[in-house]
Structure 1
Amino acid sequence: MIPPAHEGTTSSALTRLNVNAARLLGVPAKGYAHLLGLAPEHLNDDLCRAPTTTSIRIAELMTAHTAWPEVALLMTQQSGIGSLGVWDYLITCAPSPLEGIRDAATYLATVLDVGTGSIEVIEHGRHVSVSHDNGADLTFEAACAVRACALGLFQSRLGHAARRHLVPVHVALATEVPRSHDALIELYGTRAIDFEAPVSSITFRAADLKAPSPLSQPGLSAVLRRHAEQTLATSIPLRGWLDLFRAALASAHETAPPTLSAVAQRMSLSTRTLQRRLEEHGTTWSGEVEDIRRAHVTGLLHDTDLSINAVAARTGYADARALRRAVQRWYGQTPATLRRTAQPQRCQ
């Protein structure tokens, strides 16, 4: 089962791509550096998800500075394999490129805001079309850049999966005709580009996408799908103060059991102010720590074969007995039972 997507947010990987492209284009940082999700501790943390509005604003600034076809070309060129995390490998490591792009459509939430965007894969005879629908509230030029870049990303990942450059049969863009096609011709490697289409799509020969991928390994796709699910389950959407606190708490928890003073210091607050802000948001320090420990314990029981003693040690419990009491309180069952009930999901 896929965890609920964090609508209204995008991955930090995508945010980093936008920021890097803006820098390369010479867009003044003062126009976007203050946006939520761009603080270094959030931008460089793959658990954090910035508001979709952050990426929208950067895209608008880029296309106000440079023609949208050139923005799309630069963003695609700067997005190497792995830069978008597990989403890239779902495509490039699947048994075939076609299976990979289908997995990528299913787990699009690991990168994008699925409240505003989607991927559809359609087979029609000897061809396969991959369409991208983006309904975000963007300026016209920014929307054009996003749509063109998305198709470029599909092409580059599918080509990497096939281990050769794939020239599309046809490209359709839901944009007006730009003044110059040169950047788009370079991006897609073809002049077969139509504009003013209802939906942006890129079409390939079915035989190219159905051929076995040289990078595929038995069982790897199942591992990557589980990783995508775990990524969605543990990611932290940044929409306000409480989200920022939880990101700081999760970051502190990675190295040692978190303390109130350590997290307060990360947030440049006194411990008293931090506790007061938590109360204002209807929660408490102990309750937040309990939530993050529960998520950590549950993840280790579901996704690893660590012993109960090892799980207790990793999650800050004094011993296995203390861990068993906590799991019993949370779920009304023992850690061993909780682990067994997760086995069918782990093998899908």
Structure 2
Amino acid sequence: MPEEGYARLLGLAPEHLGDDLCRTPTTTIIRLAELTTVHAPWTEMALALARRSRIGALGVWDYLVTSALTPLEGIQDAATYFGTVGDTSTDALHVSENGHQVVISHLNQADMAYEAGSAVSAYALGGCLQRLSDAAQRQLVPLRVTLASETPRRHHSLIDLFGTRAIDFEAPVSSMTFLASDLKSPNPQAQPGLSAVLRKHAEQTLASSVALHDWLDLFRAALVSVHDEGAATLAAAARRLAVSPRTLQRRLNEHGTTWHDELEALRQGHITRLLHRTDLTIDAVAAEGGYGDASALRRAVKRWYGTTPGSLRRSGDPTHGSGPVSSSHRS
């Protein structure tokens, strides 16, 4: 693909591609898929993507699959935390048991060209098969594969991808069916307790992620970065975006917000997570949240929620349904 076709797509800047917390927008993924299928059949694109997407390329999601006690438990975790690699507003991974069989389905509701959508679903299933086989330490072969795609003229690439000729097209849903016994066999490389740690990490990643949709999202991603580096100043954020502080303030005004409001919202979210998910003292939360002392933190929490930090902590985290965890267990 010529670079000018994709270089300016939202979310493809090096600082965003290299940051697990920046969520590349679905519109960019769709455009990349559509551009690619202009140069190669969708069947070959799916195989090429799967071969290049080796274990570890998809971060914590890969290890959720490969580190569980069984491949089935791993793919169930992967379905639960699919948001770490996909846009759950358009895509989903479902796992269901039916007697002695397990069906893994990829649902894709994104509005994209037929070839691009077919490639994405075939790649998604092929990537799952790779990781399941890695977990089992042997090549797993589905009993059958169904794809919600028109029958292509040739599909030898898909036979290579799935390791079987039992592939049906024009199905309602793209899926793979396995013998349950294949996915319930013990994972030779499983490490007891590791799955719980990985699930926690996936939750934290999703809670802290920044979806990139427009310029304001790019700014917020930059603000998170400078905040984490301990330099949440207007000048630092402007340098990260390669604009002057004055230009940055003007762009924020154009988007109906201000530097003060954006910094306040970031600190509010950060402080709330610290109170709900750690056992740090109020003084420590104030220091880590960028406040001079506990009194300043109390005033801020009062302004946000009309209560005290202690009362907010005791109320629990409504998005997770659990109280604080020990700070020694934070990643």
Which amino acid in 2 is paired with 1:188?
F
Shift of 1:330: 2.7
Residue of structure 1 equivalent to 2:262: 288
TM-score (norm 2): 0.88
> Residue 313 of structure 2 contacts residue 324 of structure 2 at CA under 8 Å; is this kept in 1?
no
Q: Write the deviation string for residues 266-325 of structure 1: whole angstroms up to 9, x where unpaired.
A: 223222222222223222211111111122222233333434333333222223333333
In the TM superposition, structure 1's runs of 4+ consecutive aligned residues that sit over 4 Å from their partners are none
> What is residue 51 of structure 2 aligned with on the other side?
77
Q: Residue 330 of structure 1 aligns to a residue in which SS?
A: helix
- Computed over aligned residues only, the root mean square deviation of the Cα atoms, in angstroms, reads 2.3
2:145 paired residue number: 171
- The alpha carbon displacement at 1:228 in A equals 2.5
**What amino acid is the match of 1:296?**
H
Residue matched to 2:226: 252
For the pair 1:270 / 2:217, whether they are aligned, the reply is no
Aligned pairs for 1:65-214 within 5 A = 65-214=39-188
Identical residues among aligned pairs (%): 61
Question: Could you say what secondary structure the match of 1:293 adopts?
Answer: helix
Instruction: State how far apart, in whole Å, the 1-side matches of 2:191 and 2:295 are.
Output: 40
- The Cα offsets for residues 54-113 of structure 1, whole Å up to 9 and x where unpaired, read as 111111111111122221111111112232222222222333222222222222222212
- Output the CA distance in 2 between the equivalents of 1:347 and 1:301: 7
Q: 1:338 aligns with which of 308, 312, 316?
A: 312
1:124-174 per-residue CA deviation (whole Å, 9 max, x = no partner) reads 221111111212222222122112111101111222222322111111122
Unaligned runs of 5+ residues in structure 2 are: 326-331
Of 264-273 and 216-225, deviating more is: 216-225
Q: Quick one: distance in 2 between partners of 1:45 and 1:190?
A: 36
The secondary structure found in structure 1 opposite 2:304 is helix
With normalisation by structure 1, the TM-score equals 0.84
Q: Distance in 1 between matches of 2:85 and 2:323?
A: 22
Paired with 1:324 and 1:221, the residues of 2 have a C-alpha distance of: 37
Which residue is 2:328 aligned to? Answer: none
Number of equivalences = 322
Q: Distance in 2 between matches of 1:333 and 1:80?
A: 48
8 Å CA contact 1:93, 1:215 repeated in 2: yes
Correspondences of 1:1-12 after superposition (within 5 Å): none
Pairing of 1:20-99 with structure 2 (within 5 A): 27-99=1-73
Distance 1:340 1:77, change over 3 A: farther
Instruction: Give the AA of the match of 1:179.
Output: R
- Contact 1:171 1:202 (C-alpha < 8 Å) held by counterparts: yes
C-alpha separation in 1, matches of 2:250 and 2:59: 37
- Give the alignment partner of residue 208 of structure 2, picking from 222, 234, 258: 234
Structure 1: state its 5+ residue gaps: 1-26
